[in-house]
Structure 1
Amino acid sequence: MGYKIKKTKFFTLAIALFLTCILNGQIVPPPVPPPPPPGLPIDGGLFFLLVSGLIYGVRKIKK
């Protein structure tokens, strides 16, 4: 009877040590990148803004 208990304890210890190695060997995921800064670029609408300002100024001067 003593042999069975020793064998059971040995297998329990072996399985516990094996599972610990597996759980600690996981790869850490990379950190989440930061969100982009708020605000919108002016690049696309700059020409339209300039043209509309010129048209508005000419109309104001004519009146």
Structure 2
Amino acid sequence: MIQDKKTIASTLFVLISFVCSAQTPPPPPSGPGPVGLPLPIDNGILVLLGAGLIFGIYKIYHLRKKHI
């Protein structure tokens, strides 16, 4: 019974801390970005394109192997 009370108290403490941290006001919006300068492309895009290329090569290889 005491263990259940400790578990419930710990869970409530964690949940209350999340709620309290969510109550901070958002920072004021910044001005528009620089005009005419391209935004950098994240490295995640390059990884995604590489994975798509590898998957495409894999699928083409297996389709050709199946038809031979």
TM-score category by the smaller chain? 0.3 to 0.5
TM-score (norm 2): 0.41
Larger-gyration structure (1/2) = 1
